[in-house]
Structure 1
Amino acid sequence: MSELNMALPAQAGAKPNEPVKEFGLWSAFTLGFSNISPILGIYSVFSISLMSAGPAFLWSLPLVLVGQLLVACVFGELVSRWPFQGSVYAWASQLGGARYGWFANWAYIWGMVLSLTFLALASAGYLLSAIGVNAPSEMFSIGVALLVLAFGSFANMVAGRFLKTLLTFTLCCELTASAGIGTALLLFHHVNPFSILFSGGGTNHGSTGHWLVVNFTEVVAFAGYSICGFEIAGSIAEEVVEARRAIPKAMILALAAVGGLVIYACTAIILAIPNFTSVMSGNIADPISSTLISSFGPAVGRASLIVLAVGFTSGMIAVQTALSRTVWATARDNIIPGATFLVKLSGQEHLPRRVILLTALISGALLFINTTKLYSLLISFSNVGYYICYSLPVLGLIYARRRGAWEPGAFSLGRWSNPVAYAAAAWLILEAINEVWPRPLSNVWYLNWGVLIMLCILTVVGLIICTKMVKNDASQREQSKFVVSDSI
């Protein structure tokens, strides 16, 4: 990471291979909102959490939201000091050197690549259901997923006004679907008492202690996946005007908004479910759709599928935006294969189009293993990958403060900085352990141990690649001292 390479570009007149500042606070907020996405949050955890812990699973959501807000506040301090492309990679590199940053990046990139693949496939499934194709062949589903991925890649390659307008449109759709439908359910279709929110729904097996240790910790792991990705605004830091002040606000506001909407909508759906006995017995596979159809009629069911497709597609686009910038930042530091090719920016907007194309090709290839158990093993790692890469810069910040090597940026928590950092580190470590912990969710043993298996495999592979790419740690640590422009 040379000082020349890492000097931030000015707002105007950026050099040919430097990002252009074309995003503001609103654009950074919409990008983060789309990535976390209330629609994804609601649909990704509701059914499985309800079956695992009953209606009381709802209380896992505010717990996770508080933990993630602690992390977002720490990230706000980090990006305010170092507003560079790549977010957790850049921060970890600053705090712990090139090898430390490389491992944060390894976990981060894997998590995003797998998320990109999953979101494209999920969006295709909801889109096909919306147009009445309920039993498509595997290859047909993959073909539609490839088209969705191609559309997202096109949006990222064009970027500019088109991408900003698209993200604003999807934000409006998600607000209507989560806040609007949630309010209508609470006002006109509230059929269950509020006391049901404290019920295990028969999942506690006669023991509150068992429910807390087994069922509730399990849904906390699920919820951890639904409220994740808030750091994405930091991945485009060099493209955001007044990044030191705008990005901390964008991250925290997007996380708080999405987390609040997920809790609100889930509460409304739980209180509107017409027949809990059928849901908890497994006779109703999709309690959200059945509740919406029961409350508003069949037409809403198809509309909800369209909104789901929009939500998953916007999340996919946001993930690819962050992924491409992170890979590009790694190429700029010349610590990945093909760095010379990947580091080139193109177009008037100075976009990493080569990297965007590469991410699309890799995710497209992964779609073809979507029916194998290997795909399940890969996906199982995507969530814990986020928590591992989140923890590295937080722990690095704590270490820097203990050594007296930390100087706050424009955004600072002041005297609360240390308590918040320690609380965030504790949360991330506990949640990572919770994510890795093997659970009997499948009859196939290695799927139950999938997260731990993939963690071990990718750690070994990462060590091999890191040793090859980063040959001299001492010199890399010296080179990783960034020059920060006071004009940012």
Structure 2
Amino acid sequence: MTESPPRTPAPSDSDRLAALGYRQELRRSLGVLGNISMGFAVVSPVVGLYAVSQVGMSVAGGAWVWALPLCLLGQVLVVCVYSELASQWPLAGGAYQWSRRLAGPSFAWMTGWLWQFAIMFANTTVAYLASPWFFALFGRTPSPAQLVLVAAGFMLLCTLVNAYGINLLRRFVSLGIAAEALASVVVGLALLLFCREHGFALLTDTLDAPATAGVSTGAAFLAVIAVGGWAFIGFDACVSTAEETRDAGRQVPRAMWWALLSVGLVVVLNAVSVALAHPDPAAVVAGADLDPVTTAVVTGFGDWAAKPFVVVVLVSFTACLMASQGGAARGLYSLARDGVFPFSAQVRKVNRHKAPIGGLVAATLVSSAALPLGLESTAIGSLITFGTAATFAPFFLLCLAALIARLRGTWTPAGEVSYGRAGTLLNALAVLWTGLEVVNICWPRTVLAPPGAPWYQVWAALLGVGLVVLAGLGYLLLRRPQRLMRAGVPLGSPGSDELAPAVH
């Protein structure tokens, strides 16, 4: 009887990381559930619904909810591309790392630069939007300065939790999303089944909102799609912790799918529930109710529900900020260890808890530096608009780079996840979706700005993305970080001569 040859042991996660040119510096302790929790917290059904419901209903009435399934479907296409990339190259700083292997140094650096500032300024927005709920616990009306100070306190709290490493971060985030998921599903179903004030016909009624806003029905729906995309953009947080996830090539794609689909379904459920349970949707269209979610919940459950609901929302915002801040820190760490980000020697540092402390401090400083914009409400609105546009721009650039590489034959997905020939079609559709959404978001609209808003808020998306791109181009011309990337200097540690692996 012939003996079978001994099995070759599967390479460890550290070996796979070394094959990609990097040392294992962060603590690899997350399972798939821990990775899902990071994505779920950043996508956050509560945060997402609060960000878009009032604007959506005021522009398109009860019919606004149909934009959400469309946006979710578009983001499913993006996850298809991300899954193939994350499976083959499970690295922190996915947008930068993948673009580098698909399209070259300058393109990759600009993609990473744009993504980093999008996420860091998104953290500013989340911290600022969380602060009113802190005051709501005590029934107080804060001044703009108080909102900014409390937002800074939230930022510092989340920084401290992140500094103690991935395990403490996972525990805090998991507790937050457990409370959020339970409350979201229970509240959504209860509103839908027992607290409805309207029939389902409301979901096809614009309530004359487009005419009130002075736009056509088609233009109103496009505006809602531009806003609705923000509710489904955090799944890439799963990629940020890829180097801390066991069996990352297989588990990170799974986590992205679970995070996006679970949050997406809850957001759609709650959007429908809030619209049907709201006592007076016309008041939202008229601008008399700026918080339709709370109005629907308190009307449906009674005044006793106000405080518990505030607690749930506050917990949701905090978990979202913690996870998103951790993702920003890991993205900066990924750029800095290649020596291609300002102050790389400091930003790439990892502390004794194996947390990317340098990236965490840098991300917190940038996010906090933008908080004084909250002293002027129209300025923080501009930041929100910019954040949405700047997040979709890297989606588009990365999907475009992947499609071109496929068509040229320089990249064939070689990881655990591959969609074969269908992958090319899905990739092309993802490019179409993200490209249209970038144009849609950047298109200047007075309908999405507060009455009497200054011109720069109407143009905020285009101006913000343009300024960040110009700053990035300036850094490319002056410091030329792409030279280090072409030369293979340093991948993983100072002085390393390892080159990035060739594209298959």
TM-score by length of structure 1 reads 0.92
Q: Does the residue aligned with 1:54 lie in a helix, a strand or coil?
A: helix
> Which 10-residue stretch deviates more, 179-188 or 422-431?
179-188
Q: Deviations over 1:49-84 (max 9, x none)?
A: 101001100000000000001101110000111111
* Residues 475 and 244 (structure 1), Cα distance of their counterparts in 2 relative to 1, 3 Å cut: closer
Matched, 1:447 2:447: no
Instruction: Map 1:330-345 to 2 at 5 A.
Output: 330-345=335-350
> Which 10-residue stretch deviates more, 278-287 or 420-429?
278-287
Matched, 1:262 2:281: no
Q: How far 1:362 moved relative to its partner?
A: 2.3
Instruction: Map 1:327-476 to 2 at 5 A.
Output: 327-347=332-352, 349-372=353-376, 374-408=379-413, 409-440=415-446, 441-442=449-450, 443=452, 444-470=454-480, 473=483, 476=486
Q: Which runs of 5+ in 1 are unaligned?
A: 1-6
Q: Does the residue aligned with 1:9 lie in a helix, a strand or coil?
A: helix
Matched, 1:137 2:148: no
Counterpart position of 1:157: 163
Q: How far 1:257 moved relative to its partner?
A: 0.5
Counterpart position of 1:303: 308
Counterpart position of 2:172: 166
Q: How far 1:11 moved relative to its partner?
A: 9.1
Q: How far 1:284 moved relative to its partner?
A: 2.6
Q: How far 1:10 moved relative to its partner?
A: 4.5
> Which 10-residue stretch deviates more, 66-75 or 472-481?
472-481
* Residues 476 and 429 (structure 1), Cα distance of their counterparts in 2 relative to 1, 3 Å cut: same
Matched residues in 2 for 1:155 and 1:430: separation? 38
Q: Deviations over 1:92-132 (max 9, x none)?
A: 11111111111111111111111111111111111111222
Q: Does the residue aligned with 1:118 lie in a helix, a strand or coil?
A: helix
Counterpart position of 1:100: 107
* Residues 471 and 292 (structure 1), Cα distance of their counterparts in 2 relative to 1, 3 Å cut: closer
Q: Deviations over 1:277-298 (max 9, x none)?
A: 3333333332221221111111
Residue 191 of structure 2: which of 177, 185, 201 is its match? 185
Q: How far 1:143 moved relative to its partner?
A: 2.0
Matched, 1:58 2:62: no
RMSD of equivalent CA atoms: 2.5
Q: How far 1:169 moved relative to its partner?
A: 1.0
Letter of the 2:356 partner, please give it.
P
Are the equivalent residues in 2 in contact too, given 1:32–1:250 (CA < 8 A)?
Answer: yes
Q: Does the residue aligned with 1:205 lie in a helix, a strand or coil?
A: helix
Q: Deviations over 1:184-234 (max 9, x none)?
A: 11221122111111111112439999201x100000011011111111111
Counterpart position of 2:92: 85
Q: Deviations over 1:392-441 (max 9, x none)?
A: 22111111111112232111112310110000000000000000000012
* Residues 365 and 471 (structure 1), Cα distance of their counterparts in 2 relative to 1, 3 Å cut: closer
* Residues 369 and 285 (structure 1), Cα distance of their counterparts in 2 relative to 1, 3 Å cut: closer
* Residues 322 and 392 (structure 1), Cα distance of their counterparts in 2 relative to 1, 3 Å cut: same
Letter of the 1:139 partner, please give it.
A
> Which 10-residue stretch deviates more, 421-430 or 105-114?
105-114
Counterpart position of 1:232: 237
Instruction: Map 1:6-25 to 2 at 5 A.
Output: 9-10=14-15, 18-25=25-32
Q: Does the residue aligned with 1:370 lie in a helix, a strand or coil?
A: helix
* Residues 178 and 21 (structure 1), Cα distance of their counterparts in 2 relative to 1, 3 Å cut: same
Counterpart position of 2:246: 241
Are the equivalent residues in 2 in contact too, given 1:17–1:345 (CA < 8 A)?
Answer: no
Number of aligned residue pairs? 475
Q: Deviations over 1:15-61 (max 9, x none)?
A: 98722211111111000000000001111111111010011000000
Q: Deviations over 1:131-172 (max 9, x none)?
A: 222x22233222221221111111111134322221111111
Matched residues in 2 for 1:285 and 1:457: separation? 31
Letter of the 1:350 partner, please give it.
K
Q: Percent identity?
A: 27
Q: Deviations over 1:371-399 (max 9, x none)?
A: 24554444431111111111122111111
> Which 10-residue stretch deviates more, 52-61 or 286-295?
286-295
Are the equivalent residues in 2 in contact too, given 1:98–1:477 (CA < 8 A)?
Answer: no
* Residues 153 and 198 (structure 1), Cα distance of their counterparts in 2 relative to 1, 3 Å cut: same
Are the equivalent residues in 2 in contact too, given 1:85–1:325 (CA < 8 A)?
Answer: yes
* Residues 382 and 280 (structure 1), Cα distance of their counterparts in 2 relative to 1, 3 Å cut: closer
Letter of the 2:246 partner, please give it.
V
Are the equivalent residues in 1 in contact too, given 2:59–2:210 (CA < 8 A)?
Answer: no
Q: Does the residue aligned with 1:21 lie in a helix, a strand or coil?
A: coil
Are the equivalent residues in 2 in contact too, given 1:16–1:350 (CA < 8 A)?
Answer: no
Matched residues in 1 for 2:306 and 2:481: separation? 56
Matched residues in 2 for 1:451 and 1:218: separation? 13
Letter of the 2:397 partner, please give it.
L
> Which 10-residue stretch deviates more, 257-266 or 151-160?
151-160
Matched residues in 2 for 1:283 and 1:436: separation? 27
Letter of the 1:482 partner, please give it.
A
Q: Which runs of 5+ in 2 are unaligned?
A: 1-11, 492-498
Higher relative contact order, chain-length normalized (CA < 8 Å, sep 6+): 1
Matched, 1:272 2:290: no
Are the equivalent residues in 2 in contact too, given 1:336–1:469 (CA < 8 A)?
Answer: no
Matched residues in 2 for 1:25 and 1:49: separation? 34
* Residues 469 and 229 (structure 1), Cα distance of their counterparts in 2 relative to 1, 3 Å cut: farther
Q: How far 1:8 moved relative to its partner?
A: 6.8
Counterpart position of 1:3: none
* Residues 245 and 53 (structure 1), Cα distance of their counterparts in 2 relative to 1, 3 Å cut: same
Matched residues in 2 for 1:447 and 1:475: separation? 37
Counterpart position of 1:4: none
TM-score by length of structure 2 reads 0.89
> Which 10-residue stretch deviates more, 71-80 or 224-233?
224-233
Are the equivalent residues in 2 in contact too, given 1:76–1:248 (CA < 8 A)?
Answer: yes
